[in-house]
Amino acid sequence: MNVHLQSDRHPHLVAEHMAVDPIIVRADASLTEAVELMDANHVHGLPVVDEAGILVGVLSQTDLNRARSTEYLWANWPGLAVRHLMTSPAITVARSTPLLAAARKMEELGIHRLVVVEDGDATNPIGLLSMTDLIHALADETHAHAGDPVMEPGT
């Protein structure tokens, strides 16, 4: 079976599989606030915006774990905020991007999520596409093709 994250009629698009209305955090928020947001909303990463609401980065569980594993940094840096640990700039993908292209981008960059933006406006986060979303899309496609006959190579 050959799974391509697209149907015979059209490629699947990021907009069809992204999580909409992402939970966002401000760059000047404390790490405690960010941790509480992630925990309360069961998310693994947050788009980060500045005071004007413009996308400036992403804060992930990996970023937080790095800080947490450096006990001295965690305990003694006054005013440690999201902006100090976030990955910047945020890696984005437009909502109309084919899902396969987004998956390749994530693989090539070794990242687990992309911030989804409107076509032509990379400043406003409208969604997130995570590895989990890709796995769900792959599972959906696999189930859709479960009844397809298996073709032998060269036939």
Give the pLDDT confidence of 117-132 residue by residue, as tens digits: 999 999 999 999 999 8
Nearest Cα neighbor of 47 from 29, 68, 65 is: 29
Check residue 13 and give its pLDDT.
93
* Interval 71-82 mean pLDDT: 73
Report whether pLDDT(81) > 50. Answer: yes
Domain ranges in the chain? 14-144
Tokens of 94: 């437009």
Check residue 119 and give its pLDDT.
93
Check residue 79 and give its pLDDT.
73
Check residue 146 and give its pLDDT.
60
Check residue 148 and give its pLDDT.
52
* Interval 25-45 mean pLDDT: 94
Report whether pLDDT(152) > 60. Answer: no
Nearest Cα neighbor of 4 from 125, 114, 137 is: 137
What is the CATH number that goes with domain 14-144? 3.10.580.10
- Mean pLDDT score across all residues of the chain: 85
Nearest Cα neighbor of 86 from 153, 19, 31 is: 31
Rg (CA), the chain: 18
* Interval 48-77 mean pLDDT: 85
pLDDT classification of 3: cutoffs 50, 70, 90:
very low
Q: 64 versus 116: which is more confidently predicted?
A: 116
Q: Where are the alpha helices (DSSP H) in the chain?
A: 14-17, 31-41, 61-69, 71-76, 82-85, 99-109, 131-144
3-class state of residue 142 by DSSP: helix
pLDDT classification of 145: cutoffs 50, 70, 90:
low
Tokens of 58: 């992403």
